[in-house]
Homo-oligomer: A and B are copies of this chain.
């Protein structure tokens, strides 16, 4: 905790360089329309004084903040069980940094916080928002829309009212699930089960849909609801084994639940993949590579999703800045997934 020295102002730099504040301002903001020798003088003065623009003063006049809010609804989050968010954050951070924008992180803890977030977003502190709202009934999307802040969602938002036009970035959950199940079919498996994710999240629903796309008339008993956790995977696997002892493959909605399933299969003496093939989803390395056997899974590029969200948002902001009229509304993006073959299927 050190003492904060008073920072030099534009004024100081101007004095030192022997020019006007306006000129310094121009140089600091790119230097267009200022003759080279002056630019040089100003640059030096900036350097010598260690001048850094006061963002507050700047925002006050430009109405830009060069900051983006990232809203993550915690209540439910896998946030603390897997690196999903850390990766998204990394992607987002990289992109924002390249754009000289700051990342303001808003973690919410239940409904009380929603009001706070709404107020913050409506307060015009940031240029836009990236919102992770994975739940079907999440009030966040609507709230954000009402706040009137340009927003991009992470994952397809639930089918709330006003969110029909929401811009989002998502993985091709349905397509990825299809590919996984087709792979199992290609392996000659016939009794293919599915352990779903938490079905109040669109990703889980989409993966289930993908499973059904391929297994059009599957025995309903072969689908058991999980919750994206290892424990849920174990429970589901046990139930499946009880119901359909003859199953020969399992597609789990994510790697974590697949790891739980694997454990149960081993306990029950089923060999993987010989007796039962298993596929997960995510390609969460610390899990997928460490299971026994290593997990075949559907990879989604999580960091890229983050990067893309930021890019979409920033692009929209830029467009809007150039042409405040209509405002460029980018459209949603669905990223492809890839099947990663390891030993489990």
Contacts and interface: CB of A to CB of B under 8 A. Distances in A.
Interface residues of A, number: 68
Copies in the complex: 2
Interface string A28-56: 00000000000000000000001011111
Interface in A80-132: 80-83, 85-87, 89-90, 93-94, 97, 102-107, 109, 113, 116, 119-120, 122-125, 128
A290 B87 contact: no
Contacts of A89: 105, 107
B93 A1 contact: no
B290 A1 contact: no
Contact of A124 (B54, B93, B286): B54
Nearest to A151: B1
Nearest to A267: B292
Nearest to A287: B286
A332 B53 CA distance: 33
Contacts of A54: 60, 123-124
B52 A56 contact: no
Given A74-B90, A86-B86, A107-B90, A124 B4 contact: yes
Q: Which 6 pairs from chain A and chain B are nearest by CB?
A: A56-B59, A52-B123, A93-B107, A1-B150, A80-B83, A56-B60
